[in-house]
Amino acid sequence: MSLAIFDLDNTLLSIDSDHAWGEFLLEQGAVDAKAYREANERFMADYDAGTLDIDAFLAVALKPLADNTPEQLAAWHQQFMAAKVEPGILPRAEELIARHRTQGDTLLIITATNRFITDPIAERLGIDHLIAVEPEVADGRYTGRVSGTPSFREGKITRLNEWLESRSDTLDDAWFYSDSHNDLALLEMVDNPVAVDPDDTLRQIARERGWRIISLRE
């Protein structure tokens, strides 16, 4: 039995759930349309380029959580799952998850998207363990701030090591599936790195290093 680690956005999903949540909020009229759309697109481009300022991004991304009640957020998320997430779940990704589950592997999603967005997605995929950006909560409301280290780039390694310290799992013969060069540091740590529908940078690196390259798209 091994640890099977999965990136979420554009790996197990055909969408970026963080970006899609931003688009959903725009459709609901929940945010300032012009400013939020510009920021959403700018941050997505920065992520693709490997230049994302995670703190600046999270200041914008977590603000709607602080600006709305838990009840409103829960109602929106239910709609978001049906409208955006469910169509983005890849059947081949579910088959991959099922193969690791059948082998008795421990399944873990590690993502730079926040837990509010991703916890229901992990539950839908049947994956019990999730490392995500943790939005701070005080008195039952989101504050708009981050709790702990954001699970982004090298922060994913920090958070994974913290998670491993509390468990008997190790990285021996571990797998990590990702689409993004932003996850290069973690891909280099595991015995079985797999590039999934990778961006151009990761595809080139994977070819040079002889890593597996797969597609989960139809």
Among the listed residues 9, 16, 105, 183, the single catalytic one is: 9
Q: Is 199 a catalytic residue?
A: no
DSSP secondary structure string for all residues of 127-165: --EEEEEEEEEETTEEEEEEES---STHHHHHHHHHHHH
In the annotation, is 7 catalytic? yes
Tell me how far CA of residue 94 lies from CA of 6, 136, 148, 155, 157, in angstroms: 12, 31, 30, 26, 25
- For the chain, the C-alpha Rg in angstroms (whole number) is 17
Residues 7, 18, 179, 183: which is the catalytic one?
7
Between CA 191 and CA 152 the distance in angstroms is 20
> What single-letter amino acid sits at 76?
W
Distance CA 147, CA 21 (A): 20
3-state secondary structure of 50: coil
Looking at the annotation, which residues are catalytic? Answer: 7, 9
